[in-house]
Copies of this chain bind each other. A is one copy, B any other.
Amino acid sequence: MVKVAVVGSIALDSIETMYGSRRDVLGGSATFISIASSYLAPTGVVGIIGTDFPTEGRTFFERLGVDTTGLETAEGATFRWVGRYHQDMIGRDTLATNLGVFENFRPQVPDVYRSAPYVVLGNIHPGLQLHFLDQIPRAQFVVADTMKLWIDSAAEELGQVIKRSHLFIVNDEEARQITGEVNLARAAQALLARGPSYVVIKRGEHGASLHHAHGCFYVPAVPLLEVKDPTGAGDSFLGGLIGFIARMDRLSDEVLRQALVVAGAMASFTVEDFSVGRLAVLEKTELLERCGQIRSMTGVGHIDI
């Protein structure tokens, strides 16, 4: 039974970083989210691919345990993104975007996903996120992501997504942009006031923070000496987060804290190689070891003076 239902983009990315380049490799928000989540809990993906999508692509999802019943194939080309990362591995230039079949995507939730208690609205147009969510009326925990484009162009529908999500995840710049608050603690409060019980702010190489009505939890980023390809870091973070919560199947403060550590670990593996290369070969022992490393980066005893 699918416990986590994911919607988002599925893309063929062509990427250039200071560590090299790759052409037509697997990308898209739904790809990273579902692959990371499926490590931890039964996960199904809803997305659209074109008839040019390589057969190995679909079998790749299945081999990693992702349910692909919701993967729709349409006549035409798969969504393609061509990008080049700056030397800081944060800034990037989009060199080309070809929507292809993604332009007419209307996510359809297969029957086998309709009772999934955990729902992830990966980064796509908020109108599509809402359409997806409407098809899972008994969703217990809804996590939503977005991007600058939708903040600028679809603010009203995005407002609905934020209101209907239990956990809303953004990066620091997006949090500022949506709320108009420069102080991130204030931005988190302002987002919480719009509906979600939890807000996660991703801070790139500085880690991420989880905010709720009664406090804040902070997870640092693993200090990697080599970041080969940042693509999908945020999405695999989100996948690790929801996968762990779904695996534990409860929402205690401690489960959320652990989920954030697992999320950070997952993101740190993703950027070690291009596309989903590192996630594809990730072992459970490696994941647990890295969670331990993250915990040891903040562990500190009682202080008295």
Contact = CB atoms under 8 A, between A and B. Distances in A.
Interface of A: 40, 87-89, 182-186, 188-189, 203, 205-207, 209, 211, 215-220, 223-225, 227, 244, 247, 254, 257-258, 260-262, 284, 287-288, 291-292, 295-305
A89 B183 contact: yes
B220 A218 contact: yes
Given A182-B87, A209-B220, A223-B185, A261 B305 contact: no
Nearest to A248: B305
B298 A217 contact: yes
21 contacts: A40-B305, A183-B205, A183-B227, A185-B224, A211-B223, A216-B223, A216-B297, A217-B298, A218-B220, A218-B298, A219-B300, A247-B305, A258-B303, A260-B300, A262-B303, A287-B305, A291-B303, A295-B300, A298-B298, A298-B299, A298-B300
Contact of A284 (B254, B299, B305): B305
Contacts of A88: 182
A295 B211 CA distance: 15
Given A188-B223, A218-B298, A262-B305, 8 more contacts: A184-B223, A203-B206, A206-B206, A216-B297, A257-B299, A257-B300, A288-B303, A295-B303
Nearest to A206: B206
A261 to B, nearest CB: 6
A292 B302 CA distance: 8
A165 to B, nearest CB: 21
**Smallest CB-CB A-B distances: 3 pairs:** A185-B223, A298-B298, A206-B206
Contacts of A305: 40, 244, 247, 262, 284, 287-288
Dominant SS among interface residues on chain A: mixed
A166 B50 CA distance: 59
A181 B7 CA distance: 37
Nearest to A247: B305
A191 B210 CA distance: 31
A183 B225 contact: yes
Contacts of A89: 182-183
A88 B182 CA distance: 5
A301 B254 contact: yes
A303 B207 contact: no
A143 to B, nearest CB: 19
A232 B207 CA distance: 25
Nearest to A258: B303
Contacts of A223: 184-185, 188, 209, 211, 216
B225 A186 contact: yes
A300 B186 contact: no
A288 B300 contact: no
B185 A219 contact: no
Contacts of A87: 182
Given A244-B305, A304-B288, A297 B218 contact: yes
A84 to B, nearest CB: 15
